[in-house]
Chains A and B, each alone.
Chain A
Amino acid sequence: MPEEEYSEEERKAFEEKIKRMSPEELKEFQKRNCVFCQIIIGQIPAKKVYEDDHCLAVLEINPAAPGHILLLPKEHHAIMPQIPEEEIGHLFMAAKHLSHALLRGLKCGGINLFVANGAVAGQKFQHFVIHLIPRKESDGIKLELPQREIPEDILSKINEVVQNRFNELMGIKKELVKVETKEHAEKKKEAADEEESEKKKEETEKTDPQEEENEDEKSEESEEEKDGSISLDDIASVLNGGR
Chain B
Amino acid sequence: MVCELCAVAKKEVESELLYEDNEIMAVVHLKPAIPGQIIVFPKHHYPIFEQVPDKIIAKMFKIANKLGIALFESLNCHGTNLLINNGVAAGQTMAHFSLNLIPRKEKDGLKLQWEPKKASEEELQTAFLMINEKSKELHPDLFGREEKNEELVEERGRPKEIKLDKKKENYLLKSLKRLP
Question: Across the interface, which residues of B come within 8 angstroms of A163, CB to CB?
Answer: 18-19, 70
Which among B36, B92, B125 is the interface contact of A158 at CB below 8 angstroms? B36
In whole Å, how far is B169's beta carbon from the nearest beta carbon of chain A?
9
Is B178 an interface residue when CB atoms closer than 8 A count as contact?
no
By beta carbon, the residue of chain B nearest A101 is B135
> Do A90 and B156 form a contact, CB below 8 Å, given A63-B116, A106-B130, A165-B70?
yes
Main secondary structure of the interface of B (DSSP, over half): mixed
Q: Are B30 and A155 in touch, CB under 8 angstroms?
A: yes
- CB proximity of A165 to chain B, nearest CB, Å: 4
Q: Which residues of A contact B175 (CB under 8 A)?
A: 109
Chain A residues lying within 8 Å of B16, measured Cβ to Cβ, are 155-156, 158-159
- Interface range for A: 35 or more
Decide if B79 touches A106 in the complex (CB within 8 Å).
no
Q: Is A243 an interface residue (CB 8 A)?
A: yes
A residues with CB within 8 A of B:
47, 49-54, 59-67, 69, 80-81, 83, 85, 88-94, 96-106, 108-123, 133, 135-137, 139-150, 154-156, 158-159, 161-166, 169-170, 232, 235-236, 238-240, 242-243
Please list 18 pairs of residues, one from A and one from B, whose beta carbons are closer than 8 Å in the complex, sorted by A's number: A59-B127, A66-B119, A92-B60, A97-B143, A100-B138, A101-B135, A105-B127, A110-B172, A114-B81, A115-B83, A120-B105, A135-B89, A140-B114, A140-B115, A143-B91, A145-B85, A162-B38, A166-B19
